[in-house]
Amino acid sequence: MKVSLFSTCLSDILFADVAKNTLEILERVGCEVDYPMEQTCCGQPAYNSGYLQEAKQSMKQMMKAFKHSEYVVGPSGSCVGMLKEYPKIFADDPEWAEEAKRFAAKCYEITEFLVDVMGVTDVGSTFKGKVTFHSSCHMKRILGVKEQPKMLLRNVKGVELVDLPMEEDCCGFGGTFSVKNPVISQEMVSEKSRHVAETEAEYLVGADMGCLMNIGGRMRREGKNVKVVHITEILNTH
Amino acid sequence: MSIKLGEVPYKDRVQTGIEDDFMRQAVSSAQGRFRNGRLTQAAELGNWEDWRELGSEIRTHTLQNLDYYLQQLSDNVARRGGHVFFAETAEEANQYVKNIIKKKQAKKVVKAKSMVTEEIGLNKALEEVGAEVVESDLGEWILQLDEDPPSHIVTPALHKNRQQIRETFAKKKGYTGSDTPEEMAAFAREQLRQDFLAADVGVTGCNFAIAESGAVTLVTNEGNAEMVTSLPDTVISVMGMERIVPTWEEMEVLVGLLTRAAVGQKLTSYITAITGARLEGEIDGPEEFHLVVVDNGRSKILGTEFQSALHCIRCAACINACPVYRHIGGHAYNSIYPGPIGAVITPLLEGYDDHKELPYASTLCAACTEACPVKIPLHEHLIRHRQIIVEQEKKAPTAEKLMMKGFAKWSSSPGIYNLSAKMAKPALGPWTKDGMIENGPGPLKDWTDARDFYAPQGQSFRAWFKQRQKDGETS
Amino acid sequence: MTIENREEFLNKLASRLGRERRTEGVERPQWSVTPQEEVFKGMNQDELAEVLEKHCQVIHTTFKRTDRAGLTKVLQETIEGYEGKLIVTSNDPRHQEFGVAEFFEEAREQLDVHVWDPAAGKENQRIAEQADVGLVYSDITLAESGTVTLFNNKNNGRSISLLPKTFIAVIPKSTLVPRMTQAAQQIHRAQAQGEDCASYVSFISGPSNSADIEMNLIVGVHGPIKATYILVD
């Protein structure tokens, strides 16, 4: 199966290992993976801040970059969720409406792709440790991907998965929210950090680097000794 | 007349909320209980998404035909001996009610909890003509005695603790008992019973008007709306113009959604449908019934992309699901409609000037949208508000506009993007220690005030990938 | 009866909706889903009675079950339990049907029973306000929510179920339906055939309550403090 990797700008620039792990997992389950170099950002920072025109420019760039891809797979529920919104955003744009629909239909978040498209629930990895999972808001509510990451995690040898209290709650990142409403954001992430600590897990696992760098950055500031890892790291350890 | 609570700036309101430990504890535990109640009810039904879909279809159809159903409703109220007044503004609505009070020479007015009368400032208007207005919902009564605005649309006095309530009762009503909820509630029962019996006029809101019969449905647990509509000889119901359903069958569906989503009950203790004036020979109920249908800015929402905001049935499920509300409380929204629905409708009803921060008081986590029993896409409405603030109202900060212009350029030009991917690590080098930034420059500062920032791990993924391809070709 | 400002108001709504005024011909569409029809579908009266009994625990309501022969005894016990001296009740033919009229007659010495009397005017309310017990018959009983539906009228004042300290509802088994859906359908069908609904329809589910003080549930606020349902087979 031919897959184009959507690294997300965050993983491309700050967390290259996340994209590397995603690539290697895809190859391991038998995909032929390419990486269109014209890709940039899904446009979410501008879109969620109300800058529709600006957002559309990056969205068009993304549609161009992946025009010839069969599948587009990325390691972020939030960014892939954004791609899935393109048809709505371009619905009244005769030039892009059709392309937006075609594009959105081939986009998948990595755990969703593994479970729903490849039919893989066990990637054959081994990872020793007690982990808890933060389910990111856009992944579960906008993309509707809830069970797939946990199915994959449960099948990793050595992983002990414990429930995170108030798992459904937002971590307070919210993109520009974290800098526009820093006081509220801090309260929210502190609460999340408390809940993570309560689980006594060694690792906090998530499928979105945005949330993870928020929670991880806070926990490090608080001196908490919990390691924050993207799910692809666990799925690619063997 | 205003749904705005005061003049305190947004930042200060947020700070006040965050520093109020009791309020935050109370809100947090209330949210937990309401949320569990809703989820338990949804699970018990088993097909909650079907119910939400039905709720949404009913609201959509009704709003699309609002003129028809309001006409049918008003015809039926009149046929059943009631009067109907269509009020375009809060002032018109208040004036109409004031006229009735004057004509009846009413001294005492008892009220059942109603958000729309809060919205139009009816109590103040009635006091202007010399009537004593008594709120009869326990929570509303507490707030009225304490001259404090509601902070939640279902449990308005959520932010008050029992000691505060006891003090208020003691100061305003000479209460000498303890601060146990039971004893204070018994005291309220005794006091308010006298008010019910002595009242000249009863005023209610309206949960759902039923067009086919001309009925007004009221939903309570305390039974106060039943007192208010049964004992006084004049009853006035005030409804937001969108609070209507075609028939009893839709009322039933929406009431079930409301009580489940609001308080996790299958039905509340009292659901009452009152139709017009009392019939010949009946003793209870009003001999004179008035229905006031209020627009007050709602028609501006009709026919726009925000129309579904009028689907709201005021259950507060979005408020109870909202993590931002949990930390800042209701008063921080500076509107009688707090939380996500408040952030959506307050700027629509009253404009952006005083409420431009509200659409940003959300992480767009969509917990509100998921909780809404009639499927209002609340977080999408918040994004639409932001677009309007940026593109039409031109109220966005200049620095932000410049940054977004830069973003557009960056994300639509692979060349510039490439360069930034290459430059990110060296550019952040001076601030980086052990791969982390603890005290970031410029826009990173707000971030690093509260948390560390991850510096780029090494080369960018694309650089690594290019290298990998090259290695692959040469090997 | 007056209707003021209607035309201008509704014309504006139509214009906001981008179309002409609609004054006739609007029909409810076929909803794509009807989950309300499925709840407890096909259950018989005994199964519904079980649902009702179970839900009474949730709504802080005492549930008793008896047959016509046993009703007066259960009624007497319940009233005694509520220390009932003054009873207010509807002027209802079902008093005869269920032998309750006879019981009132026999208990004349211990019980002061006021039967709602349109001719007595506001005196009815004053008595209800003093009464220990309000006694009514359920017109439709909703199993799912433990709800007694009352079509109030001149012989059955709303005050009976509202003002006394305690509330007793006699529930003829035949009045049991799965949920509010069936009650709403019944009222809707009658209305569609030109039969107006009662001026006051009450759906009562147990005693009044409030959670307005620190979210503590307090049973008994403005309405009755205690409630008993007596299901009669």
Task: Decide if B323 touches A, using CB distance below 8 A.
Answer: yes
**Distance from C-alpha of A43 to C-alpha of B40, rounded to nearest angstrom:** 37
**Distance from C-alpha of B126 to C-alpha of B109, rounded to nearest angstrom:** 9
B-A interface (Cβ pairs under 8 Å ≥ 3): yes
Selecting from B367, B451, B465 the residue whose C-beta is nearest the C-beta of A170 gives B367
- Inter-chain touch B189–C200, beta carbons under 8 Å: no
B441 — pLDDT class (breaks 50, 70, 90) = confident
Sequence-ordered list of residues with C-beta below 8 angstroms from that of C24, at least 6 positions apart, any chain: B68
Selecting from B138, B248, B263 the residue whose C-beta is nearest the C-beta of C184 gives B248
Q: Give the closest residue to B204 by CA, choosing from B127, B273, B130.
A: B273
Task: Decide if B194 touches C, using CB distance below 8 A.
Answer: no
Choose, out of B252, B258, B299, the residue to mutate when testing the contact with C (most C CBs < 10 Å).
B252
Task: Decide if B68 touches A, using CB distance below 8 A.
Answer: no
What count of other Cβ atoms lies within 10 Å of the Cβ of residue B79?
Answer: 14
> What would the pLDDT profile of A144-202 be if each residue is shown by its tens digit?
999 999 999 999 999 999 999 999 999 999 999 998 999 999 999 999 999 999 999 99
> What would the pLDDT profile of B380-400 be if each residue is shown by its tens digit?
999 999 999 999 999 999 999
- Inter-chain touch B138–C153, beta carbons under 8 Å: no
With a cut of 70, list the residues of chain C below it in pLDDT.
Answer: none
Q: Which residue has the tokens 């759906």?
A: C203
Kindly report the average pLDDT of chain B as a whole number.
95
Distance from CA of B289 to the nearest CA of C (A): 10
Task: List phi, psi (to 5°) of B180.
Answer: -75, 135
User: What's the average model confidence in pLDDT over B33-62?
Assistant: 95
- Inter-chain touch C181–B284, beta carbons under 8 Å: no
The pLDDT of residue C220: 87
Tell me the count of B-C CB pairs closer than 8 A: 301
Q: Which domains does chain A have, with CATH numbers?
A: 2-116 (3.40.50), 122-235 (3.40.50.1860)
Task: List phi, psi (to 5°) of B86.
Answer: -95, 120
Task: Decide if B139 touches C, using CB distance below 8 A.
Answer: yes
Task: Decide if B57 touches A, using CB distance below 8 A.
Answer: no
Q: Which domains does chain B have, with CATH numbers?
A: 65-296 (3.40.50.10420), 398-474 (no CATH)
- Inter-chain touch C162–B227, beta carbons under 8 Å: yes
- Inter-chain touch B404–A137, beta carbons under 8 Å: no
Selecting from B400, B411, B447 the residue whose C-beta is nearest the C-beta of A57 gives B411
Strand pairing report for C62-66 and C226-232? parallel
- Specify the fold of C42-232: Rossmann fold (3.40.50)
**Distance from C-alpha of A20 to C-alpha of A7, rounded to nearest angstrom:** 9
Helix (H) or strand (E) holding C182: helix C180-192
Task: Decide if B470 touches A, using CB distance below 8 A.
Answer: no
Q: Are residues A33 and A27 in contact, defined by beta-carbon separation less than 8 angstroms?
A: yes
> What would the pLDDT profile of A84-96 be if each residue is shown by its tens digit?
999 999 999 999 9
Which of B69-83, B145-159, B299-313 has the least mean pLDDT? Answer: B145-159
- Inter-chain touch B410–A40, beta carbons under 8 Å: yes
> What would the pLDDT profile of A41-66 be if each residue is shown by its tens digit?
999 999 999 999 999 999 999 999 99
**Distance from C-alpha of B250 to C-alpha of B254, rounded to nearest angstrom:** 6
Could you report the predicted ipTM of this complex, rounded to two decimals? 0.97
C-A interface (Cβ pairs under 8 Å ≥ 3): no
Above 70 in pLDDT, residue B1?
no
Q: Give the closest residue to A233 by CA, choosing from A129, A163, A79, A142.
A: A129
C-B interface (Cβ pairs under 8 Å ≥ 3): yes
> What would the pLDDT profile of A106-157 be if each residue is shown by its tens digit?
999 999 999 999 999 999 999 999 999 999 999 999 999 999 999 999 999 9
Q: Which residue of B has its CA nearest to C36?
A: B253
The pLDDT of residue B475: 60
The pLDDT of residue B16: 96
The pLDDT of residue C79: 97
Q: What percentage of chain B exceeds 90 in pLDDT?
A: 90
Residue B388: its chain A contacts at CB < 8 A? 50
Interface of A with B in 191-210 (CB under 8 A): 191
Q: What percentage of chain B exceeds 70 in pLDDT?
A: 99
User: What's the average model confidence in pLDDT over B93-104?
Assistant: 97
- The SS3 assignment for A73 reads strand
Task: Decide if A27 touches B, using CB distance below 8 A.
Answer: no
A238 — pLDDT class (breaks 50, 70, 90) = confident
**Distance from C-alpha of A114 to C-alpha of A104, rounded to nearest angstrom:** 17
Q: Give the closest residue to B228 by CA, choosing from B98, B101, B111, B108.
A: B111
Residue A186: its chain B contacts at CB < 8 A? 449-451
Q: Are residues B362 and B324 in contact, defined by beta-carbon separation less than 8 angstroms?
A: yes
**What angle is formed at CA B24 by the lines to CA B21 and CA B26, rounded to 5 degrees?**
105
Q: Are residues B390 and B326 in contact, defined by beta-carbon separation less than 8 angstroms?
A: no
pTM of the model: 0.95
Distance from CA of C45 to the nearest CA of B (A): 20
User: What's the average model confidence in pLDDT over B434-456?
Assistant: 90
Task: Decide if B110 touches C, using CB distance below 8 A.
Answer: no
Task: Decide if A174 touches B, using CB distance below 8 A.
Answer: yes
Burial of B182 (0-12, 13-18, 19+ CB in 10 A): middle
Distance from CA of C35 to the nearest CA of B (A): 6
Touching subunits of B (3+ CB pairs, under 8 Å) are A, C
Buried/exposed code over C175-195 (b: 16+ C-beta within 10 A; e: otherwise)? bbbbbbbbbbbebbeebeeee
Q: Are residues B162 and C213 in contact, defined by beta-carbon separation less than 8 angstroms?
A: yes
Q: Give the closest residue to C159 by CA, choosing from C128, C199, C118.
A: C128
**Which conformational region is residue A167 in: left (phi greater than 0), alpha (psi within -120 to 50 degrees), or beta?**
alpha
- Inter-chain touch B451–A218, beta carbons under 8 Å: yes
Q: Which residue of B has its CA nearest to C202?
A: B272
